[in-house]
Amino acid sequence: MAWGQKDDEAGAQEGRGSSPVSDAGRNSAGGPGPNQGDPRVRLGQAGTAPSGFRLGRVLGIPIYVHPSWLIIFLLITITLGKQFAVMHPNWSQQQHWALGIITSILFFASVIFHELSHSVVAKLYKISVESITLFVFGGLARITRDPSSAKQEFNIAIAGPLSSLFLAGCFFLVARAVPNHQLVFAACNWLWEINLMLALFNLVPGFPLDGGRILRGIAWGITGNFDRATKIASGAGRFFAYLLIFFGVWQAFNGNWVGGVWTAFIGWFLLSAARESYVQVELRNTLTGVRAADIMSRDVPTVERNISIDDYVHEVMRTGRRFHIVTGAGKPVGLVTLHSARSVPREEWANTSIQPVMMPFERIHAASPEEPALGVLQRMQSEDINQMPVISEGRIVGMIARDTILRLLQTRLQLGHLAS
Using CA atoms, how far residue 133 sits from 2, 4, 8, 55, 103, in Å, is 10, 11, 12, 10, 20
Nearest-CA neighbor of 245 among 274, 266, 216? 266
CA 43, 48, 54, 55 torsion-angle sign: positive
- Please check the confidence at residue 160 and state whether its pLDDT lies above 70: yes
Using CA atoms, how far residue 272 sits from 45, 67, 182, 320, in Å, is 13, 20, 42, 38
The predicted model gives 62-69 an average pLDDT of 83
SS3 311: helix
End-to-end C-alpha distance for the chain, whole angstroms: 37
Query: Residue 344 burial (CB < 10 Å; 0-12/13-18/19+)?
Result: middle
Residues of the chain with CATH 3.10.580.10: 300-363
CATH label, 300-363, candidates 2.60.40.10, 2.120.10.30, 3.50.50.60, 3.10.580.10: 3.10.580.10
pTM higher than the cut 0.85? no
How many residues are given for the chain? 420
For residue 167, which amino acid is it? Answer: L
The one-character DSSP state at 347 is: G
24 — pLDDT class (breaks 50, 70, 90)? very low
159 — pLDDT class (breaks 50, 70, 90)? very high
Longest dimension (CA), the chain: 84
pLDDT at 217: 93
Cβ proximity of 49 and 130 under 8 Å: no
- Please check the confidence at residue 29 and state whether its pLDDT lies above 50: no
CA dist., res. 136 & res. 66, Å (int): 8
SS3 content of the chain, % helix, strand, coil (to 5): 55, 15, 30
pLDDT digits (tens, 9 = 90+) for 257-287: 877 888 888 888 888 878 877 777 777 777 7
Residues 6+ apart with CB under 8 A from 148: 25, 27, 33, 34, 36, 125
